[in-house]
Amino acid sequence: MKSAALLSSAYLPPVQWFTKLVAYPTVYIEQHDHYMKQTFRNRCVIRTEAGEQVLTVPVTVPTPKAEMRDVLISDHGDWRRLHFQALSAAYERSPFFEFYADDFRPFYSETAGGLLDFNQRLVALICSLLDIAPDIRLTDSYADAEALDADDYRDAIHPKHPAADPDFTPDRYVQMFSAHYGFRPNLSIVDLLFNRGPEGLITLIRSSQAAHARFPGL
């Protein structure tokens, strides 16, 4: 294991992504990579009564090879209202949704802005709710993982073709609708947060060998 992790930006990232924030002393978020469709950069997966649901943020990409930092959010299709409505419908009966709903609500009443900034502010909110303060830095240029002494997860954490990650072993927790669908690992971090609240941090640590080594008491 190296001294840092290198991640792509992500919208309400999956649990695997968040384990890196507690496993590594420093985490770099790549802002100079080319934007790619159908990745966690603008989508997340939640659990609903009907099964899994993908929530996608519509974007405006200035050029075919636009960097992530230049991608803008589109307000096409009233997506903000629909996303918050989906989160509410999925988690309103979860143990902690009512405590956190008002923290998330302002994000879904904004006007268009940059995707990277939107993602980073959501990550900052979730970190505060989990009571963690990771050292997160944006890259100055397209990063050389070796130069940063970083493990590179930019392409490894992907909804369509995830790469092997021997450090990530999802720790089970009680989910909404698990009696019907069973446990589904690596959903959006909000699934863990709304179901476990602050104790979601324990799940993150127990899901990563490296994090567990940093916090052996948990």
Burial class (CB in 10 A: 0-12, 13-18, 19+), 79: middle
| CA dist., res. 75 & res. 53, Å (int) | 20
The mean per-residue pLDDT over the stretch 66-85 comes to 95
Nearest to 184 by CA among 10, 8, 9, 16: 16
Per-residue confidence band for 20, with pLDDT thresholds at 50, 70 and 90: very high
Is the pLDDT at 19 greater than 80, yes or no?
yes
Residue with tokens 């075919």: 64
Q: Measured at the alpha carbon of residue 96, what is the angle toward residues 104 and 213, in degrees to the nearest 5?
A: 95
What is the pLDDT confidence band of residue 215, given thresholds at 50, 70 and 90? confident
Give tens-digit pLDDT for 199-211. Answer: 999 999 999 999 9
Q: Is the pLDDT of residue 218 over 70?
A: no
Confidence of residue 193 (pLDDT cuts 50, 70, 90): very high
| pLDDT (tens digit per residue) in 105-138 | 999 998 879 999 999 999 999 999 999 999 999 9
**φ, ψ of residue 89 in degrees (nearest 5):** -65, -40
pLDDT surpasses 70 at 88: yes
